[in-house]
Structure 1
């Protein structure tokens, strides 16, 4: 078996992917310095879904128990028709079929709770050093390492290698790849979590069920589920804007939100006034990227594979990235080999999920006869049939160690 790589790795970005990477790399035996441009660590947004591939990653990172303390394990995933209010299909997450096929639970969590669990684990690990208020403006590399420079005037950081986990608008990706801006899907999301007791009438019934509800409609959908031990109820309303223009922010407005959901069933209309309007989130992705590694710099998470949210795999895939990099460092004798192994394991799978997330969004947002045919086809599925989704929820196996 090759001797594990022991190096100094700099991680750029203190989100979920960056913290998970710092933890995985440190647990593999390398020293980590993580730099975050914000003045303090934190996450914005609301809930997220953690499929069993994410739960498996969290278990290996040693934080699953901490996440489960505040998360909810929903009993079902349910697709509803947003216009008629009829159930289309569901998956039973507590069935024998689920337990036989997937070792770990399906969880829903507030983003801040997951982030806090990872941050605490990093703070407690002796190999991890965390720094905020550091905006990377330059990365200079040679065959021996990388030097990062910061806008705030901090002393340069020298490391053996760098992992760019700096998100959708990654500066390091732009410097390395030079590709165009992320692709706007013309869809926008309004999201937020509110106290569960505010869910009344028809909404309270769904909230009490603890199921993940997806109300699919023409060019729009609503997602609902409880988080933080059921104390909060997460809602996300998504729709395609007819007024999208690439160089303007005057689209995807509240007025459009109301107009697009006006023809939905009563349960969806009841939920609409309680959807957070504090911020709108335009939805972006990119085409799959063939190259993830550039010398001593590797891309990770949204910097490598930003995807639309329709398979609920954005955070899950970043967690898989982190584990794969940790495994590669443990099982390789050089950084070059470790980075190459990481990319070869992760790129094909993440690219496939990126592409299929777009396709699932198209299915979710079908109109007219297309929606009718979708509903008829899905209605015949058993709640214990996981064949279509199992490949997404099952991470690629780590390569076996060579003796």
Structure 2
């Protein structure tokens, strides 16, 4: 294929693989540069909400996601020091019916990455280069010249229509090609671990998610029965910025005063992994023939569980627009216009949730009263603006890629 039907992508994470699949279904040749030597998703569990599932279904992945995910019946919300939930969010069949047959599910990040990767291998027009040490990009005006340098292998030259940075929160594409800012440390650290399904199942229900609120912390626990495990995420406030190499210890007085949380933490034998949380807000998502998407453009706090979902939405829509517009300036401008306000609103909601989850008395008393006063159905309905969203809304041109 010529340069006009070739797209270069930096990063083989969830955003990059989803974009590659969608582009390939529109007939593009796709070359992905990945620094790791294999598909590797840092993290543990993730939530596949209906808005993201719609894109994955369009890409033919519905059966694969169903086989590797779990649909929780709901979310139980606990306040600090209480053994019984103060309220519930109704999911399961209620969510599936509410969102036109599209379920709300949870799965392991590695399982999603592997299913995306497996799907790309069915396309001869997708090539993934591993062990990449440097990607040099020169904008030629009507195309981009890309030189991909790999560990122990010859450089790989490429001329493409566009270079897309799907290279995450520390995106080199954003900071170098678009002269964008570095990510900002949020003051939060997420501690992640996996727990045995049967052991932790003696403390928590195995058919739903559990959300615990407390002063300066919150915890999310949900089952991944396909792996016989629970995914456990504990978020605490941490004043000093952390580097990836730092391994601080969990120190939170509030946790020690909560018997249920103490029992949960004692049931976990594997080491906790510290994940410093960074965010990105930038107005520059594209310049010339270079663009960014996903965390590279709008990394957000995980307190609405929408980081991966926004990346998936980005990818599906970007591919559809690139297939309908031959001019990159028009395509990228249209894409940002359709995505920026939504991504920013979800970012803001995630930030707000961090404040709400970690409230201390007397504010937490009012929060708990409001939450307890809403029905399980109403708690889900207030999130319709996220979950009922059609990622292809506003498109005029080719239909989304189908299976």
TM-score norm. by structure 1 comes to: 0.90
Listed one character per residue, the Cα deviations across residues 117-168 of structure 1 (whole Å, up to 9, x for unaligned) are 1000111112211111113342211212112234435233321101100001
Q: Number of matched residues?
A: 390
Q: Indicate if the aligned counterparts of 2:12 and 2:33 stay in contact, CA closer than 8 A.
A: yes
Matches within 5 A, 1:1-400: 7-96=5-94, 99-152=97-150, 154-199=155-200, 201=202, 203=203, 205-206=204-205, 208=206, 210-229=207-226, 231-241=228-238, 244-246=239-241, 253-257=248-252, 259-264=253-258, 266-275=259-268, 276-287=270-281, 289-385=282-378, 386-395=380-389, 396-400=391-395
Higher mean C-alpha displacement, 357-366 vs 245-254: 245-254
**Separation of aligned partners in 2, 1:250 and 1:372:** 38
**Separation of aligned partners in 2, 1:107 and 1:41:** 22
Q: Alpha-carbon deviation of 1:200?
A: 5.4
Q: Indicate if the aligned counterparts of 2:197 and 2:225 stay in contact, CA closer than 8 A.
A: no
**Separation of aligned partners in 2, 1:247 and 1:49:** 26
Higher mean C-alpha displacement, 114-123 vs 86-95: 86-95
Cα RMSD, aligned residues only: 2.2
TM-score norm. by structure 2 comes to: 0.90
Q: Indicate if the aligned counterparts of 1:109 and 1:228 stay in contact, CA closer than 8 A.
A: no
Q: Structure 1: 5+ residue runs without aligned partners? A: none
Task: Label 1:249 to 1:164 Cα distance change in 2 as closer, same or farther (>3 A).
Answer: closer
Higher mean C-alpha displacement, 222-231 vs 181-190: 222-231
Runs of 4+ in 1 over 4 A off after TM superposition: 95-98, 247-252
**Separation of aligned partners in 2, 1:399 and 1:185:** 33
Q: Alpha-carbon deviation of 1:273?
A: 2.3
Q: Alpha-carbon deviation of 1:234?
A: 0.6
Q: Alpha-carbon deviation of 1:374?
A: 0.5
